[in-house]
């Protein structure tokens, strides 16, 4: 082995271990039974209290309803955004629409703005329309936020498709509606899955709207519940908080590693 190679392997090992330490401590200390946690971090597994810690976190922060809510918000919003954006992408790419550039910018501009710019007006109008603290309200917000990016990805994908198929079907007298569902959607399915996965994770991980647009424990999403749990750090103790963090992260970690291909492709198309 050359010196260069030894050096490289040494660097890699150090970096890998450095990166692993927080993850390792997260898992190890989530495993430590809460009552035997001595006040300083454990570096090696000591007993198995993971399930007890998780159920303690579950009770303390009402993780049950929170997980259910987040599942609802993520699935419905991501799916609704993917379909809505696919409609718009189909219209601007395939159909004869005037002012395509204008419509593109109207929809796309939403993804360039920071979320902070929307939140208070939405908060106020939700308070007035009784959408505040409802599941419908959050689904609407999350869908609206997801649409611009989804549109951008799906439109770019649609631009690279063969147009002849659509035009041939059109000649044969198929309606736009049929064209969309029977030809366009099947052809852009992989991009739609990429968009769905990406937005699912984005909605699941959102904190800001989760702590602003809802207050009830049975409406709030999962990251708001985790933030609440973290706020009680000194009361419930590190093992329970870490077990809670682990529990709420599991769905996205599993999704990320099983759908990494889709994830990367949507990232590469945009940011």
Residues 196-235 that bind another protein (CB under 8 A): 204-205, 207-208, 212, 223, 226-227, 230, 233
Contact indicator for 152, 111 with CB cutoff of 8 Å: yes
CB nearer to another protein: give 68 or 251: 251
Verify binding: residue 176, another protein, rule CB under 8 A: yes
d(CA 211, CA 221): 8
Verify binding: residue 128, another protein, rule CB under 8 A: no
Residue 13 CB, nearest approach to another protein (Å):
7
Verify binding: residue 148, another protein, rule CB under 8 A: yes
CB nearer to another protein: give 52 or 123: 123
Helix (H) or strand (E) holding 35, with range, is none
d(CA 229, CA 252): 19
**Spatial CA neighbour of 262 closest among 181, 168, 191:** 191
Kindly tell me which residue out of 34, 107, 183, 197 binds another protein, with binding defined by CB under 8 A: 107
Instruction: Give the ranges where 44-175 is alpha helix by DSSP (H).
Output: 50-60, 63-93, 100-108, 116-129, 135-159, 164-171
Kindly tell me which residue out of 33, 72, 87, 134 binds another protein, with binding defined by CB under 8 A: 87
Verify binding: residue 252, another protein, rule CB under 8 A: yes
Verify binding: residue 253, another protein, rule CB under 8 A: yes
Residue 269 CB, nearest approach to another protein (Å):
6
Verify binding: residue 193, another protein, rule CB under 8 A: no
**Spatial CA neighbour of 66 closest among 203, 232, 220, 204:** 220
CA 21 to chain centre: 25
d(CA 253, CA 271): 20
Size of the site for another protein (CB under 8 A): 105
Kindly tell me which residue out of 23, 44, 128, 186 binds another protein, with binding defined by CB under 8 A: 23
Segment near another protein (CB under 8 A); pick from 44-52, 59-67, 138-146, 190-198: 138-146
């Amino acid at each position: 082995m050359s010196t260069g190679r030894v050096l490289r392997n040494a660097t890699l090992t150090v970096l890998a271990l450095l990166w692993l330490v927080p993850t390792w401590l997260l898992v190890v200390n989530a495993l430590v039974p809460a009552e035997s946690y001595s006040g300083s971090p454990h570096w090696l597994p000591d007993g198995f209290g993971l399930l007890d810690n998780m159920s303690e976190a579950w009770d303390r922060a009402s993780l049950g309803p929170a997980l259910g809510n987040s599942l609802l918000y993520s699935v419905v919003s991501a799916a609704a955004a993917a379909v809505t954006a696919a409609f718009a992408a189909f219209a601007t790419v395939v159909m004869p629409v005037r002012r395509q550039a204008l419509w593109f910018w109207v929809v796309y501009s939403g993804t360039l703005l920071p979320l902070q710019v929307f939140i208070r007006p939405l908060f106020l109008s939700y308070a007035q329309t009784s959408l505040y603290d409802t599941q419908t309200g959050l689904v609407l917000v999350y869908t609206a936020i997801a649409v611009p990016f989804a549109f951008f990805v799906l439109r770019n994908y649609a631009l690279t498709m063969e147009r002849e198929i659509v035009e041939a079907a059109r000649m044969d007298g198929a309606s736009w509606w049929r064209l969309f569902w029977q030809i366009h959607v099947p052809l852009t399915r992989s991009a739609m899955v990429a968009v769905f996965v990406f937005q699912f994770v984005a909605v699941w991980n959102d904190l800001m709207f989760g702590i602003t647009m809802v207050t009830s424990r049975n409406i709030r999403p999962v990251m708001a519940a985790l933030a609440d749990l973290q706020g009680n750090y000194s009361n419930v103790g590190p093992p329970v908080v870490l077990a809670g963090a682990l529990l709420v992260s599991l769905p996205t970690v599993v999704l990320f590693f099983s759908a990494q291909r889709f994830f990367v492709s949507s990232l590469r198309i945009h940011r």
